[in-house]
Amino acid sequence: MTTLTGIGEPCELRMAIVLSTYHDFVTNRLRDGALEALKVAGLSTDAVVIASVPGAFEIPQAARRLAVSGRVDAVICLGCLIRGQTPHFDLIASAVVQGITEASLDSGVPMTFGVLTTNSAEEALVRARDDSSNKGWEAAQAALSMARLFRKFPPKASESMG
């Protein structure tokens, strides 16, 4: 029996971060957490590309484009949605989840979900603390694990999705 895991060295992985600039007082902290996790894992800054997008709705589009470029092994999606008084929050949150899922499945490139969906700015800031509980850190760790796993078990050339 063979068990595949995403444990191991970065092995020259190339990572992308798609960063929503809306609510940047939170998303910049998520970015910093993700970058720190990648650094601790041994990735050089040259192996990371950051694509800034206006809001969470645009994250899946940019993630898909980066994934199909063939230049990255995984995409870390970072953003922040804070509930307001209208259904807008629910519509955008649903679209972002579905969009990232579809982009990942269609491209065959792992994408991780570091998009906060909170009731308040205070809740968002708790999830963007300067430690390993930072959701950007967690999304980067998951992306590293998935990229390592996919490197161990690549699709056949005839089954490539990119």
138-161, pLDDT tens digit by residue?
A: 999 999 999 999 988 777 665 555
Answer whether residue 162 is part of any domain. Answer: no
Q: Which residues are annotated as catalytic?
A: 88
Per-residue pLDDT band for 12 (boundaries 50, 70, 90) equals confident
Give the pTM: 0.91
Whether residue 60 contacts residue 53, with contact meaning beta carbons closer than 8 Å, is answered with no
Q: What is the mean pLDDT of the chain?
A: 92
Span 16-65, pLDDT tens digits = 999 999 999 999 999 999 999 999 999 999 999 999 999 999 999 999 99
Range of the structural domain that residue 64 is part of? 15-150
On whether residue 25 sits in a domain, the answer given is yes
Task: Find the mean pLDDT for residues 109-127.
Answer: 97
Angle between helices 88-107 and 59-68 (to 10 degrees): 10
Work out the pLDDT band at 2, boundaries 50, 70, 90.
low
Helix (H, G, I), strand (E, B) or coil at 148: helix
pLDDT of residue 154: 73
- pLDDT at 126 > cutoff 80: yes
* 125 in any annotated domain: yes
Q: Two tokens at 28?
A: 């910049």
Please report whether residue 155 resides in a domain: no
**How many domains does one find in the chain?**
1
Q: Is residue 101 part of a domain?
A: yes
- Residue 35 is inside which H or E element, if any? helix 24-40
Q: Which residues of 50-62 are buried (b: 16+ CB within 10 A; e: fewer)?
A: eeebeebbbbbeb
In a domain, 158, yes or no: no
Contact 8, 111 (CB under 8 A): no
What's the token pair of residue 45? 């800054």
CATH number of the CATH domain containing 74: 3.40.50.960
